[in-house]
Copies of this chain bind each other. A is one copy, B any other.
Amino acid sequence: MGANRRMLRLGAFLIAPGYHVASWRHPTAHADGGTDFAHYRDLVRTAERGKFDMVFLSDGLGIRTPYRDEEELSRWGRFAQFEPLSLLSALAVSTDRIGLAATASTSYNEPFHLARQFASLDFLSGGRAGWNVVTSVTDAEARNFNRDTQLDHETRYHRAREFMDVVTGLWDSWEDDAFLYDKESGRFFDPAKLHILHHKGEHFSVRGPLNVARPPQGYPVLVQAGASPDGQDFAAQWAEVVFTANQRLDQSQAFYRGMKEQVAAHGRDAEQIKIMPGVFPVIGRTRAEAEDKYAVLQELVDPVVGLGLLTQLLGDVDISGYPLDGPLPELPATEGCTSRQQLVWDKARREGLTIKELYRSVSGGRGHRIIIGTPGDVADELEEWFTAGGADGFNVMPPVLPDGLDDFVDLVIPELQRRQLFRTEYEGGTLRENLGLDRPAHRAASSAPAGH
């Protein structure tokens, strides 16, 4: 295997008991896995055995699914989940090499808290922390944080940008070699290597310094998944990994090219951002077996859940008044994920789907690319996107856990390794080293302004 050969990157998207909306009803699913540490520990160790770059935990600050009453809500699953940073802290000391990334919101957190938590995770894991920066897009979350509705899109991103200035400034409170621990002289640190932030901005006033040393990775790996123009521009400035949802190669190629160009326009090296579309793989020894597996899951989708899921993907627009066997109506613009909404609408129109057909079609991948087939089929499709400039890697969303992850690690990973597309051993000790990302220099070391 050539040392300089370009290798694809893999993330494992883990949410107990699987990404498919009906996964918890599957006979093999650990329906109560959401607060079962052993379940998550075993999943992450499986991903580590497969040499995944990282595992990834999504998050919502409340129950984001739409429902009219408790009875409707009870058809959904997955309301009893660990808070992700608590879980990753525990996983950090239960694993050795795999990266650990979690979602956290810039709209409902204070930068001082998040800077400390991610710095702590980076120390606990020896430099394996990643942060998926989100601005949160539901009113349900706003209502748990003293608001009736979410902040508007522009304000969210404005706050997010200032948030990044503050957290990176806090991570740079101390230079890497600031701490002397000099017992003789009584100098705990070198005073010239302390940098007090003194931030005063529109959304935040944060003096600093952070009471944690600079993280092993400098900053945790910064991940972003917003697909709106604001989200893409934010990613181009800050993100090192981008999770995307694209159904077709040409879309993904256009996104890939566009993002790399935007990154370069921000003065950054385009190699320093890794584009990782989501894939929802249903793997069988034969194609028929894979199709059967998928059909079993689709049969388990409750109509209440399917319709609610579609409503959510459309940005909380109420479509309950329209006939299930008719087409999707024209929809108003919302403050939510408008680009995600467009994706679903495009699919409905392109394939001429009824509302019911549409909600079933998105119950599995939820807007992400679905691959159903043999290990060779899955490897073929990943290889095609990877070599054709559609992806630097993939965020793998197993339909049901642990089986879907076991299948990927035991069947697809060896095929990718055989094709020399994926590592057989971790290259480095930190997530940055494994992803091929530079360690950010302390801001005192360069004359560049704050940010990249």
Name A residues whose Cβ lies closer than 8 Å to a Cβ of B.
24-27, 29, 31-32, 34-35, 37, 41, 60-63, 69-71, 73-83, 85-87, 89-90, 92-94, 108-110, 112-113, 116-117, 119-121, 123-124, 140, 143-148, 174, 179, 181, 183, 186-192, 194, 196, 204-209, 211-213, 300, 302
CA distance A302 to B188 in the complex (A): 12
Q: Cβ of A188: which chain B residues have Cβ within 8 Å of it?
A: 24, 31, 74-79
Listed A/B pairs (14) with beta-carbon separation below 8 Å? A35-B120, A35-B123, A62-B211, A63-B209, A70-B191, A70-B196, A80-B174, A80-B211, A80-B213, A86-B121, A89-B89, A89-B90, A110-B146, A186-B302
Q: Cβ of A63: which chain B residues have Cβ within 8 Å of it?
A: 209, 211
Nearest B residue (CB) for A38: B93
With A86-B120, A90-B93 as known contacts, state yes or no: A73 contacts B191, CB within 8 Å. Answer: yes
CB distance from A59 to the nearest CB of B (A): 9
Cβ-defined contact, B27 with A208, below 8 A: no
CA distance A119 to B196 in the complex (A): 34
CA distance A86 to B147 in the complex (A): 28
User: Of the candidates B78, B144, B211, B212, which one forms a contact with A208 in the assembled complex, judged by CB atoms under 8 Å apart?
Assistant: B144
Q: Cβ of A300: which chain B residues have Cβ within 8 Å of it?
A: 186
CA distance A80 to B214 in the complex (A): 9
CB distance from A183 to the nearest CB of B (A): 5
Cβ-defined contact, A109 with B113, below 8 A: yes
With A89-B87, A112-B61 as known contacts, state yes or no: A25 contacts B146, CB within 8 Å. Answer: no
Q: Cβ of A77: which chain B residues have Cβ within 8 Å of it?
A: 188
CA distance A213 to B34 in the complex (A): 9
Q: How many copies of this protein are present in the complex?
A: 2
Cβ-defined contact, B86 with A24, below 8 A: no
Q: Cβ of A143: which chain B residues have Cβ within 8 Å of it?
A: 205-207
Nearest B residue (CB) for A146: B205
Cβ-defined contact, A80 with B145, below 8 A: no
Q: Cβ of A144: which chain B residues have Cβ within 8 Å of it?
A: 112, 206-208
CB distance from A303 to the nearest CB of B (A): 10
Q: Cβ of A35: which chain B residues have Cβ within 8 Å of it?
A: 120, 123, 212-213
Cβ-defined contact, B211 with A124, below 8 A: no
CA distance A41 to B92 in the complex (A): 13
Q: Cβ of A194: which chain B residues have Cβ within 8 Å of it?
A: 70, 73-74
Cβ-defined contact, B74 with A187, below 8 A: yes
CA distance A37 to B91 in the complex (A): 13
Nearest B residue (CB) for A67: B191
Cβ-defined contact, A189 with B74, below 8 A: yes
Nearest B residue (CB) for A61: B112
With A37-B124, A93-B90 as known contacts, state yes or no: A31 contacts B183, CB within 8 Å. Answer: yes
Q: Cβ of A79: which chain B residues have Cβ within 8 Å of it?
A: 174, 188-189, 209, 211, 213
CA distance A283 to B24 in the complex (A): 56
Nearest B residue (CB) for A37: B124
User: Of the candidates B81, B92, B187, which one forms a contact with A212 in the assembled complex, judged by CB atoms under 8 Å apart?
Assistant: B81
User: Of the candidates B80, B85, B124, B186, which one forms a contact with A179 in the assembled complex, judged by CB atoms under 8 Å apart?
Assistant: B80
Q: Cβ of A81: which chain B residues have Cβ within 8 Å of it?
A: 211-212
CA distance A31 to B184 in the complex (A): 12
Q: Cβ of A189: which chain B residues have Cβ within 8 Å of it?
A: 74, 79
Q: Cβ of A120: which chain B residues have Cβ within 8 Å of it?
A: 35, 82-83, 86-87
CA distance A23 to B37 in the complex (A): 36
CB distance from A184 to the nearest CB of B (A): 8
Cβ-defined contact, A146 with B83, below 8 A: no
User: Of the candidates B32, B41, B82, B212, which one forms a contact with A82 in the assembled complex, judged by CB atoms under 8 Å apart?
Assistant: B212
CB distance from A149 to the nearest CB of B (A): 12
